[in-house]
């Protein structure tokens, strides 16, 4: 039976949540320096001692046959009482059931405003599958090998990673609109129907080199410089979360093996033995107050301008103001919906809804347009099951009804936003 570890925690100020957690040594726990001093390093793997428990942290590459073999050999040789894996329950279920998209409810995704989130998730899944296909290894195979080997030796399996949805939401909330667009674009760039034009060939040897300490340090430093907003929730926070989960899972055991991505090994080593408030790291941050205020303030000012124009100007001027706002907003939504391949009824829905949604903070054009397109296209179970394969190429992405619906929903929202600000400029010039 696979279970998720949920150890008791001691509070840490929220401002320190993203940074390394404070060291706790009241009970004789090893400090960070102590953990470093007592750690034995073997390539991308380390050994940490805490009390009577020895933790073997095995750093792996998620698409490496060598990592699969190393993980299995380590567990069978050490025969630990506990095996920790860098998985949450959701990722474990997706890997073992291999049908994570089968029961996808596209209507629910659109209604809850998770369109961009799902697109980002699909982009990450596509990247991992491309890497795995190039190397002949299923993504996450070494983690499943750890679970299988643990069962063979009678070890308890612990899922010690933070929930994938929490990680993605905290990452998404941590980056601005421009960074979000850049990140999505970088994921989409990998789609290519012609493998011969894929550029640099990924080999098993190049993957193994990434596990080396120097390569890892350079890669993490580059990520920290290029996208610090991504590195903190995606790497740093999870380092602390994994370290605390591994430590808690090993309490009372003599021998523990933890299987994690090699990129997490340095962070686990430096944070092991520290006090971490896991509840803070599991919290979904609310939208910034200024963004919430802006969503209400701008429409309110626009409506106020209409009222002022109606009371102080002629009916012709008021009609001119309305047209100056409605036409670009509707046109922007309609044109981009059409370019996305939306059905005629969907395009009409975008044109009609855009002016209303633009001044309604709780209503999005993409929500309405996405639901209309989903009703017209009606993705089947087979369409959902084909998602992992279809997202490998631009052609498949375009042809699959699920991804087409997501694309149309996003484009209609972008068109509405662009047209809205053009309309606001026209109204301001008239007023």
* Of 310, 304, 359, residue with least CA distance to 330: 359
d(CA 354, CA 179): 25
pTM of the model: 0.66
Stretch among 11-15, 39-43, 69-73, 289-293 having the lowest mean pLDDT: 11-15
* Of 261, 200, 271, residue with least CA distance to 71: 261
**pLDDT tens-digit series, residues 347-386:** 999 999 999 888 887 788 988 999 999 999 888 878 887 8
Strand order in the sheet with 45-50: 3-4, 156-159, 82-85, 255-261, 53-60, 45-50, 40-42
**pLDDT tens-digit series, residues 310-334:** 776 665 567 777 888 889 999 999 9
**Is the CB of residue 223 less than 8 Å from the CB of residue 230?**
yes
Burial classification of residue 170, based on how many CB atoms lie within 10 Å of its CB (0-12 exposed, 13-18 middle, 19 or more buried): buried
Helix (H, G, I), strand (E, B) or coil at 8: coil
């Amino acid at each position: 039976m696979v279970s998720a570890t949920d150890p008791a925690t001691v509070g840490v100020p929220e401002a320190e949540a993203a940074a390394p957690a404070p060291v706790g040594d009241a009970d004789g726990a090893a400090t960070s320096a102590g953990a470093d001093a007592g750690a034995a390093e073997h390539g991308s793997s380390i050994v940490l001692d805490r009390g009577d428990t020895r933790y073997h942290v095995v750093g792996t590459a998620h698409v490496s046959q060598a990592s699969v073999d190393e993980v299995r050999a380590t567990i069978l040789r050490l025969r630990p009482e506990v095996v920790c894996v860098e998985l949450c329950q959701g990722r474990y279920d997706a890997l073992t059931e291999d049908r994570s998209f089968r029961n996808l409810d596209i209507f629910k995704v659109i209604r809850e405003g998770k369109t961009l989130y799902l697109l980002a998730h699909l982009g990450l899944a596509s990247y991992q599958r491309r890497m795995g296909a190039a190397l002949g290894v299923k993504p996450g195979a070494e983690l499943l090998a750890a679970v299988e080997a643990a069962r063979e030796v009678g070890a308890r399996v612990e899922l010690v990673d933070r929930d994938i949805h929490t990680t993605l939401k905290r990452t998404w909330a941590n980056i601005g609109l421009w960074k979000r667009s850049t990140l999505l674009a970088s994921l989409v760039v990998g789609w290519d129907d012609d493998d011969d034009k894929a550029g640099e060939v990924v080999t098993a040897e190049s993957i193994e080199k990434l596990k080396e300490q120097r390569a890892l340090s350079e890669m993490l430093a580059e990520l920290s410089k290029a996208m610090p907003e991504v590195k903190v929730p995606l790497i740093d926070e999870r380092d602390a979360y994994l370290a605390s989960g591994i430590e808690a899972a090993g309490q009372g055991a003599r021998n523990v093996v933890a299987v994690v991505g090699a990129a997490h090994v340095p962070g686990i080593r430096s944070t092991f033995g520290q006090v971490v408030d896991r509840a803070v790291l599991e919290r979904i941050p609310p939208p910034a107050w200024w963004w919430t205020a802006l969503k209400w303030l701008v429409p309110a000012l626009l409506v106020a301008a209409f009222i002022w124009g109606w009371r102080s100007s002629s009916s012709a001027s008021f009609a001119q103001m309305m047209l100056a706002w409605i036409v670009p907003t509707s046109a922007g939504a309609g044109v981009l919906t059409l370019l996305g391949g939306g059905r005629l009824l969907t395009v009409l829905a975008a044109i009609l809804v855009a002016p209303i949604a633009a001044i309604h903070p709780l209503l999005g054009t993409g929500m309405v347009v996405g639901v209309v397109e989903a009703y017209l296209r009606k993705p089947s179970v087979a369409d959902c099951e084909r998602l992992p394969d279809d997202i490998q190429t631009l052609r498949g992405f375009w042809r699959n009804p699920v991804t087409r619906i997501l694309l149309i929903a996003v484009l209609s929202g972008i068109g509405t936003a662009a047209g809205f600000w053009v309309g606001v400029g026209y109204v301001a010039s008239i007023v």
